[in-house]
Amino acid sequence: MTLSVDLNADLGESFGPWPMGSDEALLEVISSANIACGVHAGDWDVMAQTMARAVRSGVGIGAHPGFPDLQGFGRREMQMPLPSAANLVRWQLGAAQAMARAAGGEVRHLKLHGALANMAARDETLAAACFEGALSVAPDLILVVLAGTAQQAAAGRLGARVACEIFADRAYNPDATLVDRRLPGAVIHDPALAAHRVLRMVRAGAILPEDGTPIPARIDTICLHGDTPGAVEIARAVRAALTGAGVAVARFDGVPLV
């Protein structure tokens, strides 16, 4: 049986005349796109354009909700009641669904962004609130979760369709969470290094944190941050390494956790 994995990237993060990322180039490499919903990044026009491009490219469309923090790009933590967090996710998913349908597509997955994702990776209760909010709108939605974290535990408890994610361009802590971006070495910019790490993790079926102790993990999809400098080069290197090793790149199916 051929090993298969999805490649995803965060897109649609430009705002008005201010561009961010290389969306069109990434759409030629990835199989799934996480599209900003105008709250942490993006706007209504950027959403519409990105959805249309994703449909034309045959890429799986995902909603990418985050905290309402344009200045901080959704990467600063915020505290809010759990029902409000659920509504925040519902609101953004609804906008994504409308834009996707207007472009002739459908939202098939959802992935939390930035600080909201990192907090949900540590706090299963928050993760469950966000995911329950999303599933109340779209029960068959695939939840993209950070592999080995509280996000995965929450999605599993809900019996949802799931895609477990690792990162090509981020270093890991021993608990499978991501190393803080402010720390040296947290973000990987070398395409060859990123490709080497990804191939090792996919082959091992494990996350490889900085301390060298493997964390067994189901790996369904690999994230390539669209705003990382050199994102296109990293994406191409990762895809070439995978296909060169006989690993097929294809959309995830969203199989529930056992």
- Annotate 68-124 with DSSP letters as a single string: S-TTTTT-S-----HHHHHHHHHHHHHHHHHHHHHTT--EEEEE--HHHHHHHHH-H
Q: Is-contact 153 175, C-beta < 8 A?
A: no
- 254 falls within a domain: no
CATH of the domain at 221: 3.20.20.370
- 116 falls within a domain: yes
- 153 falls within a domain: yes
Backbone angles phi, psi at 248, to 5 degrees: -75, 145
pLDDT tens track, the chain, 258 positions: 668 999 999 999 999 999 998 999 999 999 999 999 999 999 999 999 999 999 999 999 999 999 999 999 999 999 999 999 999 999 999 999 999 999 999 999 999 999 999 999 999 999 999 999 999 999 999 999 999 999 999 999 999 999 999 999 999 999 998 899 899 999 999 999 999 999 999 999 999 998 889 999 999 999 988 777 788 999 999 999 999 999 999 999 999 997
Q: Which domain holds residue 49?
A: 4-249
- 258 falls within a domain: no
Domain count, the chain: 1
Q: What is the pTM of this model?
A: 0.95
- 255 falls within a domain: no
